[in-house]
Structure formats: structure tokens, C-alpha cells
Amino acid sequence: MARPKGKKRAAAADAEAEAEAPAVRGRGRPKKSARTEPKPPAAVARGRPKRANTEPKPPKPEAEYFPEQRNLEDLWLSAFPIGTEWENIDKMKEFNWNFENLEKALEEGGKLYGKTVYLFGSTEPKQLDVNGELKMVFIPIVVAVDCPFPPSDKIGIKSVQRENEEIVPMKAMKMAWLPYVPLEDRLSRCDSLKTKIFTLGCTQRRCALKHLKTERVRNFDYSACPIICHLLLLKKKMIQLSISFIL
């Protein structure tokens, strides 16, 4: 027969059962408890403050203003410098030559305004003092011919080595009188333009000169418009005319 438990043992067993009961109930999903953590300081919430930029900003580049281009500013460049060696044509452009006298003569109020004018160029080599140094300068010359029709469609070829002057058509030297279009009219339709200014043009490509015979290349160097061939007596007068176009 089993021995009955005493009161003290029964009370101890009940106490152990009550102590184990919360542990069993705790295996379920625990209840969420409201957080009572303090909010971080404002400085911490915003992150690390940025350092002030103390480096000086580079100055803004000043706007560059270019002078307005004149309506006939490149007219003298359009006139092919006949009789000038190919290697010296670029030397002629080393200086900023000014032909405003020629431009004013062709503009309204000038003595050539409204007239049909044909222009061709040439060069006059001179040894000048440039920045304290003697240098050969090729001074451009522009000759304007007031004529209702082209002064000539021929080219004269004359050199010291030749006894006689050779006259050939302009087309044989790839030259022709070309209409000059002023700057303000270059955006207009070509068929609606009515210009009375023509310049001597040459369509010979410089890159193709190396494929030509030496005699053929020399023909360009010895070329001259027939209207100025044999004008040695009027050379001084022609130079004075050219200088009046240069400022």
C-alpha cells in the first residue's frame, strides 16, 4: 500500500508545478511590448554636418567680343594673286592687310558704286623692318578695272628665259572671272543675286601641283593679265594705286 504524502511534500510539489508553468507558456509567441527608447539627438539624426567650402571659386571667364565683320572685308582675298609663286601666297597672308579704301570705293557713295568692276591681284616683294628684323614681305596688290565686260579671257606667260610671250586661254590655266558675293548676301539664293563685282579666280588645287610637270607649275609663276603685260613704264603708277588701297 502506498504511503500518503505529507503536507509539506505536497506543498513543495505544488510550488514546483507553479514555477514550471510560466516556462511552458513562454514557448508561444511573446507579446510585443512598446519601445521606450529615447530619440536620438537632432545632430545625430541628421548625420555628420558638412564642412564649409572655404576654397575660393575660380573667376568666370570674361565673354569675348569679336569685331563685326565688314561686308567686303575678304574681297581682296578673293582676287587671285596672279604671277605669285605658290609658296609665297601663304606669306602674303601673314599680315592683316586692310583694304578699306577699296571697300569704300565699291560701297554706296564710292566712285565705283553701281559699276561693273573686275578685280585681280598680285604681289610686290619688299624687304622691310619687322619687329627689328629685316624680312621679305609680300605686299598684296589689288587692281580694279571699271569695265562693262570682262577685260580679257586670255593669260600672258612671260619669263626671262623665254624670248616671246605666250598667250593662252584662261581655261588652260584653270582661271576665270567669278562673281563676288558680299557677306550680307551669302545666305540668299544664288539665282536671285545680282552682283557687279567679279574677281579673278583659280581652281587649281595646290595638293595636285606635285603631280604636274615643273614647266606647268612655272607657268603659274610667270602668268600675268595681258592688260598689265609690258607696263613697265607704268609700274610706279600701279604701285601708287596699290598703296592707296592699303592702310
- pLDDT per position as a tens digit, 86-112: 888 888 888 888 899 999 999 989 998
Concatenated DSSP letters of 35-75: --PPPPPHHHHH-SPPPP--SPPPPPPPPP-PPPPPTTTTH
Distance in angstroms (rounded) separating the CA atoms of residues 231 and 238: 9
Structure letter (DSSP) for residue 95: S
Cα Rg of the chain (Å, integer): 48
Distance in angstroms (rounded) separating the CA atoms of residues 226 and 168: 10
pLDDT of residue 241: 41
Structure letter (DSSP) for residue 5: P
**Beta pairing partners, 65:** none
Distance in angstroms (rounded) separating the CA atoms of residues 102 and 247: 10
Spans of all domains in the chain: 75-151+175-182+192-205+229-243
User: Is residue 157 a contact partner of residue 219, using CB atoms and an 8 Å limit?
Assistant: yes
pLDDT of residue 240: 42
pTM (2 d.p.): 0.63
C-alpha cell at 181: 558675293
Distance in angstroms (rounded) separating the CA atoms of residues 234 and 226: 14
pLDDT in tens, the chain (247 residues): 445 545 555 555 666 655 555 544 445 555 555 555 566 555 544 556 666 666 777 777 777 666 778 888 889 999 999 988 888 888 888 888 889 999 999 998 999 898 999 999 989 999 998 888 899 999 999 988 888 878 778 888 887 777 777 888 889 889 999 999 888 877 766 655 677 899 999 998 888 888 888 888 888 888 887 555 434 434 444 444 433 343 3
**Beta pairing partners, 224:** 156
pLDDT of residue 232: 40
Structure letter (DSSP) for residue 232: G
Distance in angstroms (rounded) separating the CA atoms of residues 80 and 24: 111
